[in-house]
Chains A and B, each alone.
Chain A
Amino acid sequence: MSRLPTSAPETAADVRGRALAAGAQRRWSLARKLALQCALLPALFLALELGYRGWQRFEGHPYRGSEALAEIRRVAGALSDHLAGAGAEHPRPEREEPDARTFLHPFLGFAVEYFQDSFAKDVAYFESDAAKANFDVLIVGGSVAGGLCENAGMALVEGLRADPRLRERMVRLHMYATGGFKQPQQLNLVSYVLALGMKPDAVVEVDGFNELALSNYNALHGSHPLHPSLSHWLHLVGNGQFDREGLDRLIAMRRAQRDAAALAERTERLGLHASAILGRWSLSRLHRVRRDYTGAYQAYVEHMASSENATLRGPSYEPSLENVLELAVRNWSESSRSLAAICEARGIHYLHVLQPTLHDAGSKPLSEAELETSAAQDGWIEAVRDGYPRLREAGEELHRQGVHFVDASRIFAGVREDLYFDACHFNAAGHALFAREICGAFLASLP
């Protein structure tokens, strides 16, 4: 027998209890809640992105994905190329980048690997009739000269071609500027290519910063100031110093290099640079990796330089700043005299340009962004501050001796906009100004 429900009068408490039970039935399940969260996440992220972009714009640093990507590529590329032959990544073929690995060169200290091909191709070119008809300009110097060719090569060519003396001729630039080169590497390079059979119509030498900063860096690390830049060259000649400490440093450097390459590749592949937040995050991680690399490299250089290696040390010298600058300035000046003489003997027009540089006091009113990125080692800064006035003075002496010397160290003195992106390199606007100055000086001195 079934029990029948008993009916009883409904109280207020019963009503509230029933309502609560009904409400409990309508509460969202965990899955629904999660789904909502997921749906809201992009909105939240979008809000954050927009907020961040707005804030950045308000701060005067609007975010641009293309610029961030370029910066990521630049930093990762520089890291990848920095460790010489043994450690650098091979260029990715789809980018068709020249092979920037360096190798030990008998007369230049070190050279980038693609020079091998360039030398052979240019020698063949100079045997052709086209070379006789063209106006061939050989550009030598360090990374600033390299940046000039990349950023303002066309402006340079057009500026030269605008002159009636060159209007009928095709102007061809032969780019042999190399990051880290300093005199007498440019002198040796020019005499080497002439002996190989190249016959340029003109040689433009752009230098100044490396001859002071890197010479002082050498001296501070036990290597002669006239020797090639220790940090570019040491790895190629320091073989045999692979003790535990050396290996530890190398491993740290390689790890940083690989991390940088992987981070840059992932950022580009997933399009992270399109987001201000993720792009900035990638960039800051990349800068952290670069700091790790620089720290490990610095320790490696110091470790290697501490060894008694005749090749690295060079002749004995007095390492005080005063003496190092005297050696560096004489090296700069004598190399230019020799270059001018070698060119003159062959009827080659030679122009020597002193490049502007950030730590040269009074050479530019620095913007906030420039100040932020201008950090450099003390050795570089003191060499530039004390050395640039001497280079200007020695340049005037060169000019008196008949060398076509142009002092471009003050061309940014009235420019307030961002031109430098680190302690010595310019952006495209800086190179445009630089190219215009060089073009004017070149044509003014062209016979």
Chain B
Amino acid sequence: MPSPPPAPRRTWSFRRKLALQFLLLPVLLVSIELFYRGWQGANGETYRSDEALASMQRIAASLDGSLDSATAEKPREGEVSLAEVFLHPFLGFAPENFRVQLASDAAYFRRPVAEKNYDLMIVGGSVAARMCQTATMTLVESLHADPRIGDRRVQPIFYPTGGYKQPQQLNLVAYALNLGFEPDAVINIDGFNELALSNYNARHASHPMHPSLGHWGHLIQGGALDRESIDFLVGMRQAQRGARQLADLAQGWGLQRSAVLGRFALSRLERLQEQYASDYERYVVHLSTTRENPTRRGPDYAADLKHVLAAAVRNWKESSRSLSALCAARGIHYVHALQPTLFDEGSKPLTEAEIATGKAQDGWVEAVREGYPRLRKTGERLRAKGVNFVDCSMLFADVKEDLYVDACHFNEAGSRLLASEISKAFLASMP
């Protein structure tokens, strides 16, 4: 009897196979995710989704804030954008919100409440701006605790601006006084920009004392763009838009929760940041080499590091002397703080993360390394001349935790440390 034919092998239909693939896909992704996390962990680089999201937003925000009024995004509702800068007759450039802020603060000083309050004006660059954003309470509370201020409300009048360097702070305070401001105190936080951006200027055919070319150069070109300029601007704009879209997409879809997708988004953002920086650098070089512009060039100067630093340090010192004098003439308490910075040797034991994010152009690095010791020495001379100068440059010398988020800016913990140090010096020098 013939054996019965073997039962036909039960083969899965194409649909079932497809369904299985779909079911297995998440498992595969989870396996990859787990494997990647395990591998990262083994390499000592534990992935944290909140950090990844913060980095994505930081990169997108820094690109948003980089290109000036011509191409920057309009601030969204309820959001203050530092990107909108315009040409200012006495400050070189100023953020768009200054127009409203100056008018409303001038109006505030005409009201009786201003006389009752203790009005604290803060000027400086982006480090000062971050401190105002993240550590205002530290500063205000410690001032409030002092019996000399007592019942008076400490009213912050904040004017720090990314990219500002002397004499912009000096001119800003003088201009505000002319508009009718009557602050009780002025704090000026500076140091890094006065060296790094002055050297950057000098290397790009612009006087070291001029406003930062990277922040200002675009505003003085008069809109006469050649093809190459347009190409660079288009490249920067594409990077800017791409970064903002990617960061929003990642946040909207929660991509940061996955180590694989989060890292992918982050690395794509970093590439866009590099593309932007490269186009921007080439654009500035293009502008500085193709047009003889007296506005950008300024008076003749020696472009070697030694002379540039001499000019930068003198500008820093003389501007502070002038600020101190015009405050003293009005009974305004003035404090000048030298901010810490990453490339100042011995100023902080750097963590791996700080080393990884602490990249900067050679011109910045050499200016800080050579210049910071001179600022410290000159600061001593300022103090000898009666200026309330406080050297905060070694404030992080013993801090082993992450404080820097890039070559010069601090995280919240760093800003709090700086605010606390400044408030101590402020109260110690207060009459």
Does the CB pair B223–A239 fall under 8 Å? yes
Q: 0/1 per residue, A383-425, Cβ < 8 Å to B? A: 0000000000000000000000000000000000000000000
Does the CB pair A310–B86 fall under 8 Å? yes
Q: 0/1 per residue, A293-317, Cβ < 8 Å to B? A: 0000000000000000011011111
Q: A191-B174, A310-B96 are in contact. Are A344 and B298 (CB under 8 A)?
A: no
A120 sits at the interface (CB 8 A): yes
Q: Which chain A residues (208-259) contact chain B, with CB distance < 8 Å?
A: 226-228, 233, 237, 239-240
A335 sits at the interface (CB 8 A): yes
Residue ID in chain A nearest B88 by CB atoms = A311
Does the CB pair A340–B329 fall under 8 Å? yes
Given contacts A116-B300, A187-B174, 15 further A-B contacts (CB under 8 A): A103-B294, A106-B210, A115-B299, A117-B300, A119-B299, A120-B301, A188-B167, A191-B318, A191-B319, A191-B322, A195-B319, A196-B299, A337-B326, A337-B330, A338-B329
Does the CB pair A191–B170 fall under 8 Å? yes
- Residues of A near B103 (CB, < 8 A) are 315-317
- The complex places the Cα of A66 from the Cα of B12 at a distance, in Å, of 112
Nearest CB on A from B230, distance (A): 15
Does the CB pair A315–B88 fall under 8 Å? no
A132 sits at the interface (CB 8 A): no
A357 sits at the interface (CB 8 A): no
**Residue of B69, B299, B300 with most partner-chain A CB within 10 A:** B299
Does the CB pair B167–A107 fall under 8 Å? yes
Nearest CB on B from A162, distance (A): 32
- Residues of A near B365 (CB, < 8 A) are none
Does the CB pair A109–B89 fall under 8 Å? yes
Q: Which chain A residues (367-382) contact chain B, with CB distance < 8 Å?
A: none
A147 sits at the interface (CB 8 A): no
B315 sits at the interface (CB 8 A): yes
- Residues of A near B170 (CB, < 8 A) are 191, 195
A319 sits at the interface (CB 8 A): no
Q: Which chain B residues (157-212) contact chain A, with CB distance < 8 Å?
A: 166-167, 170-171, 174-175, 177-180, 209-211
Does the CB pair B322–A342 fall under 8 Å? yes
Q: A183-B178, A331-B178, A335-B178 are in contact. Are A240 and B318 (CB under 8 A)?
A: no
Does the CB pair A227–B322 fall under 8 Å? no
Nearest CB on A from B106, distance (A): 7
> Which among B178, B223, B300, B314 is the interface contact of A226 at CB below 8 angstroms?
B178
- Residues of A near B175 (CB, < 8 A) are 184, 226
Does the CB pair B322–A345 fall under 8 Å? yes
Q: A188-B171, A188-B174 are in contact. Are A316 and B299 (CB under 8 A)?
A: no
- The complex places the Cα of A108 from the Cα of B167 at a distance, in Å, of 12
Does the CB pair A195–B315 fall under 8 Å? yes
- Residues of A near B178 (CB, < 8 A) are 183-184, 226, 330-331, 334-335, 338
Nearest CB on B from A336, distance (A): 10
B15 sits at the interface (CB 8 A): no
- The complex places the Cα of A113 from the Cα of B294 at a distance, in Å, of 8
B305 sits at the interface (CB 8 A): no
> Which among B92, B294, B314 is the interface contact of A116 at CB below 8 angstroms?
B294
The residues of B with any CB-CB pair to A shorter than 8 Å are: 69, 86-92, 96, 98-100, 102-103, 106, 166-167, 170-171, 174-175, 177-180, 209-211, 216, 220, 222-224, 294-295, 297-301, 311, 314-315, 318-319, 321-322, 324-326, 328-330, 385
- The complex places the Cα of A108 from the Cα of B209 at a distance, in Å, of 13
- The complex places the Cα of A327 from the Cα of B300 at a distance, in Å, of 36
Residue ID in chain A nearest B166 by CB atoms = A195
- The complex places the Cα of A344 from the Cα of B321 at a distance, in Å, of 11
Nearest CB on A from B307, distance (A): 11
Q: Which chain A residues (85-104) contact chain B, with CB distance < 8 Å?
A: 85, 103-104
Does the CB pair B294–A342 fall under 8 Å? no
Nearest CB on B from A37, distance (A): 57
A57 sits at the interface (CB 8 A): no
A274 sits at the interface (CB 8 A): no
Q: Which chain A residues (134-176) contact chain B, with CB distance < 8 Å?
A: none
- Residues of B near A240 (CB, < 8 A) are 222-223
Q: Which chain A residues (349-374) contact chain B, with CB distance < 8 Å?
A: none
Task: Give the top 3 A-B pairs by smallest Cβ distance, nearest first.
Answer: A341-B329, A345-B325, A109-B89
Q: A183-B178, A191-B170 are in contact. Are A345 and B321 (CB under 8 A)?
A: yes
- Residues of A near B300 (CB, < 8 A) are 116-117, 120
A77 sits at the interface (CB 8 A): no
> Which among A109, A187, A313, A341 is the interface contact of B328 at CB below 8 angstroms?
A341
Instruction: List 12 contacting pairs A-B, 8 Å CB cutoff, sorted by A.
Output: A103-B294, A107-B90, A188-B90, A191-B319, A192-B167, A195-B170, A226-B178, A313-B99, A315-B106, A330-B178, A341-B325, A345-B321
- Residues of B near A233 (CB, < 8 A) are 89
- Residues of B near A194 (CB, < 8 A) are 318, 322
Residue ID in chain A nearest B329 by CB atoms = A341
- Residues of A near B167 (CB, < 8 A) are 107, 188, 191-192, 195
A105 sits at the interface (CB 8 A): yes
Residue ID in chain A nearest B221 by CB atoms = A239
- Residues of A near B99 (CB, < 8 A) are 310, 313-316
- Tally the A-B contacts, defined by beta carbons under 8 Å: 142
- The complex places the Cα of A274 from the Cα of B98 at a distance, in Å, of 58
Nearest CB on A from B69, distance (A): 8
- Residues of B near A346 (CB, < 8 A) are 321
Does the CB pair A311–B209 fall under 8 Å? no
- The complex places the Cα of A340 from the Cα of B297 at a distance, in Å, of 30
Does the CB pair B92–A311 fall under 8 Å? no
A65 sits at the interface (CB 8 A): no
- Residues of A near B91 (CB, < 8 A) are 106-107
Does the CB pair A191–B171 fall under 8 Å? yes
A439 sits at the interface (CB 8 A): no
- Residues of A near B90 (CB, < 8 A) are 107-109, 184, 188
Does the CB pair A195–B96 fall under 8 Å? no
- Residues of A near B86 (CB, < 8 A) are 310-311
Q: A107-B92, A227-B89, A330-B178 are in contact. Are A342 and B299 (CB under 8 A)?
A: no
Nearest CB on B from A178, distance (A): 14
**Residue of B89, B171, B178, B330 with most partner-chain A CB within 10 A:** B89
Nearest CB on B from A359, distance (A): 25
Does the CB pair B326–A338 fall under 8 Å? yes
Residue ID in chain A nearest B320 by CB atoms = A195
Nearest CB on B from A328, distance (A): 10
- The complex places the Cα of A350 from the Cα of B346 at a distance, in Å, of 44
Nearest CB on A from B292, distance (A): 11
**Residue of B86, B87, B223, B322 with most partner-chain A CB within 10 A:** B322
- The complex places the Cα of A129 from the Cα of B311 at a distance, in Å, of 19
- The complex places the Cα of A315 from the Cα of B326 at a distance, in Å, of 23
- Residues of A near B98 (CB, < 8 A) are 315
Nearest CB on B from A402, distance (A): 9
- Residues of B near A192 (CB, < 8 A) are 167, 209
Nearest CB on A from B168, distance (A): 8
A441 sits at the interface (CB 8 A): no
- The complex places the Cα of A296 from the Cα of B427 at a distance, in Å, of 59
Does the CB pair A334–B177 fall under 8 Å? yes
- The complex places the Cα of A346 from the Cα of B322 at a distance, in Å, of 9
Nearest CB on A from B15, distance (A): 63
> Which among B180, B211, B325 is the interface contact of A342 at CB below 8 angstroms?
B325
Does the CB pair A106–B180 fall under 8 Å? no
- Residues of A near B223 (CB, < 8 A) are 239-240
Q: A188-B171, A192-B167, A311-B89 are in contact. Are A338 and B299 (CB under 8 A)?
A: no
- Residues of A near B89 (CB, < 8 A) are 108-109, 227-228, 233, 311
- Residues of B near A315 (CB, < 8 A) are 98-100, 102-103, 106, 179
- The complex places the Cα of A419 from the Cα of B171 at a distance, in Å, of 37
- The complex places the Cα of A65 from the Cα of B295 at a distance, in Å, of 41
- The complex places the Cα of A335 from the Cα of B211 at a distance, in Å, of 22
Q: A239-B223, A345-B325 are in contact. Are A116 and B319 (CB under 8 A)?
A: no
